[in-house]
Chain A
Amino acid sequence: MSGALLSRLAGRLPLILGGAITACIIGTALVSQVWTPEAPTRMRFALKLKGPLAQGLLGTDHFGRDLTSMLMVGAWNSLSIAVLAVLLGAMAGTLLGVTAAARAGIIDGAIMRLCDILFAFPAVLSAIMLGALMGPGALTAVVAIGVFMIPVFARVTRSAAAQVWARDYVLAARAAGKGAARITLEHVLPNIAGQIIVQVTIQLGLAILTEAGLSFLGLGIAPPAPSWGRMLADAQTYLTAAPHLALVPGIAIALSVLGFNLLGDGLRDLIDPRRRLAA
């Protein structure tokens, strides 16, 4: 009996673990908006480059700023950019995907070729180009990452929606005189929502990673607002003297990506009835 319980728990482990990690990160980000141990931008040169526990929980950087506070506010900044970017990518991508699935032929072909073209530009490249146009900043990061995600969502949505379009209940809706837009709203979207949600979680992890990369290159949110990517970039100079400067944001990034991916896998198992039966 306890064996069966254990195996069920093991089957749910990704969901539980991913959910816990994600909740911690979101919680930290939210708390940072009302309370941090120190002001994250306050420089205290007397206290610079202190190790963890020597000054505050995680130590200080080369300006004597409190690393714990930077990490907390960085979580908010990274997370909000990632969420906005994924929202942009998911909404535009889903719209393109369901349109492509509903309108076979020329429109479908055009949308998918557009996705191919977007796919050819990695987020970093589009961020550099956007940065040149609009100047670096949070908006540049959101747009660059979001545009990069559009084809990902468009493809997932199109193939899922095309499967729904092949079902008899869609034929029944057509026989009832409903148009493509209405069928998409009433039948297609509810039936593919699960797959889109799974994709959103997985892409959130990727977006955090990309945001860190952009900040590392100086293309993300403007200084002195802290971000995980810039914390990493700043840590380069002191890599041997104070390795914790790199380790702290590095572990935060890795943990959040892991958390979102586990949550995505767990949700997929929860939503897919075939996997649910097997579990």
Chain B
Amino acid sequence: MSTPALLELCNVARDYPVGPTPLFGRRATLRALDGIDLKVPAGSIFGVVGESGSGKSTLARIVMALDRPTAGNVLFDGDDLFLLPPAALAARRRDFQMVFQDPYGSLDPRSRIGRTVAEPLHVVPDALRGAERAALVGEALESVGLKAADAARFPHEFSGGQRQRIAIARALITRPKLVVADEAVSALDLSVQAQVLNLLRSLRDRHGITVLFITHNLAVIDCVADHVAVMYRGRVVETGPAQAVFARPFHPYTQLLIAAEPSLERIGRGLRRTPSAPPSAQIEGGGCAFLARCPLASGRCAAEAPALRALEPGRASACHHAEALTEGASSLHFPT
């Protein structure tokens, strides 16, 4: 990764209190993120893939400064977001915008499209007013394939795919450097999903916008992302160039995800048995979180949590036995 990083997360952790408040002592906490180190190069699409409970949505909220990390630093374009005074943070918000998963929930049903799209201009000090502002909104709508006249309409007049375009237009109006897309295409129909993915790629290619693309769908990441980070239960277990990671994964969890994903390469019943045994408990002290499901598990894995370490240029894996995978062992056998 020779290009400078636009976004850098250093040892970010986030705990959430869970369960009832005891009379004495402190509430139990759940570690949603644990020691996250990430560098997102400027002008790339950076995919974050993980299942429910992996902490990927918490990551999105922290990058958007909607939630504070319990520990660690988030550096955006050189500034530590959580050390900035509130006014300075608000001013920086024009540089990072978000697209949400649910195109029905992310647009205020009572606001006209024009007002919704213009909302992020709130933090832009020299924001245009009146006709110039309307022109800017129209431009943003046209850049996502809608009409400037749509600004006068209400969300319920649009389909799911069109709504997601409106959400993207809202994210683009401040000409941000970073767009965080949290499961931005998961709720869309297949034929519409491809349109939105192409739109996100054109943002990178035409405007040099960096996209942090969070999803559970490997195939989507593989199609659009330059780099990928695979998350499992609050930790990054593997990073690298997207195509390389999926072609030759260096972590057993990445392999499991690839094996589990339905694919048109294998059609028909009775062809596969998928590894089972779902995760049992939370991250306990010490030990690898993937231990219970891992075919490579050894004594060392139970005693010592593996750190993310570089294996090849640009590629890293958090597995003690990653070498066994780099040396071309094509596929693991998971216990069923």
Question: In the complex, A167 Cα to B100 Cα: how many Å?
Answer: 11
A187, chain B: closest CB distance, angstroms: 5
Q: Which of B123-174 contact A (CB under 8 A)?
A: 123, 167, 170
Q: Which of A159-173 contact B (CB under 8 A)?
A: 167-169, 171-173
B122 at interface, CB cutoff 8 A: yes
Chain B residues with CB under 8 Å of A178's CB are 119, 122
- Beta-carbon contact of B119 and A173 below 8 Å: yes
Question: In the complex, A239 Cα to B97 Cα: how many Å?
Answer: 73
Report which of A168, A171, A177, A187 forms a contact with B122, defined as CB distance below 8 A: A177
B111 at interface, CB cutoff 8 A: yes
Q: Which of A176, A187, A191 has the most C-beta atoms of chain B within 10 angstroms of its own C-beta?
A: A176
A241 at interface, CB cutoff 8 A: no
Report which of B66, B93, B108 forms a contact with A191, defined as CB distance below 8 A: B108
Q: Which of A172, A174, A178, A186 has the most C-beta atoms of chain B within 10 angstroms of its own C-beta?
A: A172
- Beta-carbon contact of B102 and A168 below 8 Å: yes
Q: Which of B227-281 contact A (CB under 8 A)?
A: none
Q: Which of B203-234 contact A (CB under 8 A)?
A: none
A190-B110, A191-B110 known; A175 vs B64 contact (CB < 8 Å): yes
- Beta-carbon contact of B102 and A176 below 8 Å: no
Question: In the complex, A247 Cα to B315 Cα: how many Å?
Answer: 88
Closest chain A residue to B96, Cβ basis: A175
Chain A residues with CB under 8 Å of B120's CB are 175-177
Chain A residues with CB under 8 Å of B62's CB are none
Question: In the complex, A168 Cα to B90 Cα: how many Å?
Answer: 19
Q: How many residues on chain B are close to A (CB under 8 Å)? A: 23
B299 at interface, CB cutoff 8 A: no
Chain A interface mostly:
helix
Chain A residues with CB under 8 Å of B170's CB are 172
Closest chain B residue to A193, Cβ basis: B110
- Beta-carbon contact of A187 and B123 below 8 Å: no
A185, chain B: closest CB distance, angstroms: 12
A177-B90, A177-B93 known; A172 vs B119 contact (CB < 8 Å): yes
Closest chain B residue to A174, Cβ basis: B66
Q: Which of A176-213 contact B (CB under 8 A)?
A: 176-178, 186-187, 190-191
Question: In the complex, A159 Cα to B102 Cα: how many Å?
Answer: 22
B165, chain A: closest CB distance, angstroms: 15
Chain B residues with CB under 8 Å of A175's CB are 64, 66, 93, 97-98, 120
B118, chain A: closest CB distance, angstroms: 9
Question: In the complex, A128 Cα to B102 Cα: how many Å?
Answer: 53
Question: In the complex, A174 Cα to B98 Cα: how many Å?
Answer: 11
Closest chain A residue to B61, Cβ basis: A171
Closest chain A residue to B121, Cβ basis: A176
Closest chain B residue to A166, Cβ basis: B105
A97, chain B: closest CB distance, angstroms: 18
- Beta-carbon contact of A187 and B108 below 8 Å: yes
B107 at interface, CB cutoff 8 A: yes
Closest chain A residue to B170, Cβ basis: A172
- Beta-carbon contact of A169 and B98 below 8 Å: no
A195, chain B: closest CB distance, angstroms: 13
Question: In the complex, A82 Cα to B185 Cα: how many Å?
Answer: 52
B106 at interface, CB cutoff 8 A: yes
B249, chain A: closest CB distance, angstroms: 33
Chain B residues with CB under 8 Å of A174's CB are 66
- Beta-carbon contact of B93 and A176 below 8 Å: yes
A186, chain B: closest CB distance, angstroms: 8
- Beta-carbon contact of B123 and A176 below 8 Å: yes
Closest chain A residue to B119, Cβ basis: A176
B31, chain A: closest CB distance, angstroms: 22
A277, chain B: closest CB distance, angstroms: 13
Question: In the complex, A169 Cα to B98 Cα: how many Å?
Answer: 11
Question: In the complex, A58 Cα to B93 Cα: how many Å?
Answer: 70
Chain B residues with CB under 8 Å of A191's CB are 108-110
Closest chain B residue to A187, Cβ basis: B108
Report which of B100, B110, B123 forms a contact with A172, defined as CB distance below 8 A: B100
Closest chain B residue to A172, Cβ basis: B106
A58, chain B: closest CB distance, angstroms: 47
25 interchain pairs (CB within 8 A)? A167-B105, A167-B106, A168-B101, A168-B102, A168-B105, A169-B106, A169-B116, A171-B100, A172-B106, A175-B64, A175-B97, A175-B98, A176-B93, A176-B119, A176-B120, A177-B90, A177-B93, A177-B120, A177-B122, A187-B108, A187-B111, A190-B110, A190-B111, A191-B108, A191-B109
Binding site for B on A (CB under 8 A): 167-169, 171-178, 186-187, 190-191
In the A-B complex, the 8 residue pairs with the closest CB atoms: A168-B106, A177-B123, A177-B90, A176-B120, A190-B110, A168-B105, A177-B93, A168-B100
